Amino acid sequence: MKHILLVFIGGGIGSALRFAISKWLNNNSYHLPFGTFTVNILGSFLIGILIGMASKNNLLNEQQTLLLISGFCGGFTTFSAFAFENFNFIKTGDYSSLIVYTIGSIVVGILAVFLGFLLAK
Rg (CA), the chain: 16
Q: Is 74 annotated as a binding residue?
A: yes
Confidence label for 27 from pLDDT (cuts 50, 70 and 90): confident
Q: DSSP string covering 85-106, please? A: HHHHHHHHT-HHHHHHHHHHHH
pLDDT digits (tens, 9 = 90+) for 9-18: 999 999 999 9
CB 100 within 8 A of CB 35: no
Confidence label for 85 from pLDDT (cuts 50, 70 and 90): very high
- pTM for the whole structure: 0.86
Q: Is 77 annotated as a binding residue?
A: yes
- What ranges do the domains of the chain cover? 2-120
3-state secondary structure 15-77: HHHHHHHHHHHCCCCCCCCHHHHHHHHHHHHHHHHHHHHHHCCCCCCHHHHHHHHHHHHHHHC
